[in-house]
């Protein structure tokens, strides 16, 4: 009996400090939850793989897709607890309308110190919005469950989504696509709104929706003549902004600086050990390359969709 009590006391001495350290980790640096890592493993997905997201206003859902092999597979669907406005795109600053369209999120759009727990900026206005002189700033996906033109989730859900995006950037993804729709763009749903003022706009969005459903690959998106131009991404580069092989460290170092991450975990293939084991082998890749020239822009080669891809 005394031995058992001594063992419990010693266990507390060992594990309580560890628990305190974990609780003291800044929210933007917390590792993905064990539950989420287990789901990744069950779905044969690797931590640090590229991500892709879709938002559906009417259903109040945000989907996170993770690259698995040569395609993207659905990881999880999260409930959006609040979004403001009505069905239709955002038109001007102050209309409290959540955006619809095709957006691109880069590391600099992630906000680790958001007053809404954690957040990332959708990148509104994009080239399409600008062509229609639409205005607005700080249109975010964030925590806190309150919205004035944004998409709001619970703090727990935004932590998980933020972690997946952060680790994708640290794994080398240059940017991830977000497709924001008024509803799931089925023929039946679209037919219900054939008399809506935004029907033709939604038909444009449906092209991107259908193409992703058919290929499970984020499409190339550009803007020409004030219309979205959506095409299948090249076979050799299924992620539009996948990293060039010669600048892995440079891109990751820049992402780490934006994300306020001092040490970068080594993400490898899906067959390697989990994040917690890899964390023991963390090395600082940023130190050697943080001073390198990271101002080089990403170009999209080929196809009509590249005409304005640089503006996304």
Q: 28 by DSSP, 3-state: which?
A: helix
Catalytic residue flag (residue 150): yes
Calculate ∠ Cα 277-279-281, nearest 5°: 90
Q: What b-and-e string marks burial along 117-135, b requiring 16 or more CB atoms within 10 Å of the CB?
A: bbbbbbbbbbbbbebeebe
User: Do residues 103 and 312 make contact, with C-beta atoms less than 8 angstroms apart?
Assistant: yes
Count how many Cα atoms sit within 13 Å of the Cα of residue 115 in the half-sphere of its side chain: 3
Catalytic residue among 28, 117, 142, 177: 142
Catalytic residue among 28, 81, 117, 150: 150
Calculate ∠ Cα 108-109-114, nearest 5°: 110
Catalytic residue flag (residue 28): no
State the Cα–Cα distance between residues 171 and 251, nearest whole angstrom.
10
Question: Tokens standing for 105?
Answer: 């999120």
Q: Which residues are catalytic?
A: 142, 150
């Amino acid at each position: 009996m005394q031995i058992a009590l001594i063992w419990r006391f010693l266990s507390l001495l060992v594990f309580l400090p560890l628990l305190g350290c974990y609780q003291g980790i800044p929210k933007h640096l917390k590792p993905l939850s064990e539950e989420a890592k287990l789901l990744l493993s069950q779905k044969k997905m690797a931590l640090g793989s590229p991500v892709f997201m879709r938002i559906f206003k009417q259903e109040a859902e945000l989907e996170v897709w993770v690259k698995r092999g040569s395609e993207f597979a659905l990881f999880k669907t999260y409930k959006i607890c609040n979004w403001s406005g009505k069905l239709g795109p955002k038109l001007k600053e102050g209309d409290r309308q959540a955006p619809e369209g095709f957006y691109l999120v880069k590391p600099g759009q992630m906000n680790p110190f958001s007053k809404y727990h954690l957040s990332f900026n959708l990148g509104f206005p994009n080239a399409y919005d600008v062509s229609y002189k639409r205005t607005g700033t700080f249109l975010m996906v964030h925590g806190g469950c309150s919205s004035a033109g944004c998409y709001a989730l619970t703090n727990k859900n935004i932590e998980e989504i933020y972690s997946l995006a952060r680790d994708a950037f640290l794994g080398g993804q240059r940017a991830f696509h977000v497709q924001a729709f008024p509803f799931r763009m089925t023929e039946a749903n679209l037919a219900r709104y054939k008399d809506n003022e935004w029907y033709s706009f939604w038909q444009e969005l449906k092209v991107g929706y259908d193409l992703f459903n058919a290929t499970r690959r984020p499409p190339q998106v550009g803007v020409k003549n004030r219309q979205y131009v959506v095409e299948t991404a090249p076979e050799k580069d299924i992620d539009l902004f996948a990293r060039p092989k010669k600048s892995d460290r440079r891109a990751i170092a820049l992402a780490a600086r934006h994300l306020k991450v001092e040490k970068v975990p080594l993400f490898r293939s899906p067959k390697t050990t989990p994040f917690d084991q890899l964390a023991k082998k963390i090395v600082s890749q940023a130190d050697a390359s943080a001073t390198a020239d990271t101002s080089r822009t990403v170009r999209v080669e080929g196809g009509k969709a590249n005409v304005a891809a640089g503006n996304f």
